[in-house]
Structure 1
């Protein structure tokens, strides 16, 4: 029987689905929450004493806690604290959720041996630092470092909800400008791989890209979403240089107005409907993250794009619970 698994960040988008997948597999779970629901376990990974109290009896730690977008302490210090507590308690397995952001702005085919010296932004740099801490943990702890691509599905703020809102507001059809690769992994496939690692007969260590069953173009993904939720036909086209500059200015003006308590709805709608410079570049980038190493463990992602989008549409119809 699989021993107890501690999931940090259990209240988060990924953490919730990991807890559900583990429980569905009959695995005993301790779900650690920064803000626990009634009866839940309070666990702040920035507090070593809280980790020390929670860790005894745990066989596997799944570290999904990430903190806020501008707070990298949870990623770096939280990982170090969780590793130290796991080692002190004699935990056998540790699953670290990293990101393909560690590779930076890359093109082509990317496997786990690609360099990570130029990660994408502060988030990517924090994930690199957390990975380094994992590699320094020693041989007594089997550490699996997972590098998911863009995690989509119901409740995915960045890669699902944000696009749904914009599609409903008349997001433009990308067409040829959306020819780049949308490396998407459904959150339940990620949770499935984590469950596979936690329940394997022997501990599995190493670094693994985690990508989806399909790699659509950005145009295909967004149009599949549009059709599934019956969003209106797109208006306009991807912006040129002048429009991108106008968007940047409008966003700055909107931020100032917002702090002053002034509502500028037309300006906010323009910003929301206009892809940013980074988005335009992303939609055109050809890059694929290989998952041969993940498949070699005996796990293969199963959720197709059609199934993932249908899942999102059902969630949308239910009112986004």
Structure 2
């Protein structure tokens, strides 16, 4: 084992060993991870450029979509480069401070993205159930304030986690069976009781993603009740179509997140390599699929992306 330079009870660095039991397959696992990360970078960048350049898309729905794309870029970029470095055996070390910074970034973005999905559900609720007041309620100022509140809430929820990890003694333990730093993964290296960390994680998860998911569910109950009362089936079908993309993104975001969250804390019989593999694909699959879902299902985005690509092709030929 590498010699440790200890600063107090903290190791100078952690060694990330990747996916336990699958070391021989690391190179093969890195291929889909790298491809999905590249697709996520391209798709979300194209989505951001499209919405920013097209003035007709400067509406609350698309501004929230830009926020979602930015979160996806940050989430995958905070994890995948280091993951690939570990899988390719280029660098398996990460400093203690760097590990905490990575952990904070991941959860900060996750909580912010959850808040944005809730804002998008509220946007759909107003658009369908109270369309005449849509522009009066969701002004540019309100949309901006929603984004600021999402960031402040994320910071307040996740900042204490840094101190909960710094207070723990690690007794020289610095080998972590993972490809990036997670809160509970770091805490389990400590040679002390981590009950506070576990219950803080549960509380933070419930107060952020848990309450957001409940609020989103309530929003859609109200939306479906409103759609049920519409006289025209065609109008109801069109309104429901506008919610389809959001529902797909919500499913992709919350399902693996809640499974991973609960399994890490209470799923003692779930194999470790399954949890770590899921954690790796979770940070690339939704960011890769989100722009595809919105691009395919949203006509305005599809048309403007095609327009930008045509302009790009003409400029290249010129």
TM-score interval, smaller chain: under 0.3
The two structures have a TM-score, normalised by structure 1, of: 0.25
The two structures have a TM-score, normalised by structure 2, of: 0.25
Relative contact order (alpha carbons < 8 A, sep ≥ 6): 1 or 2 greater? 2
**Structure with greater strand percent:** 1
Larger radius of gyration: 2
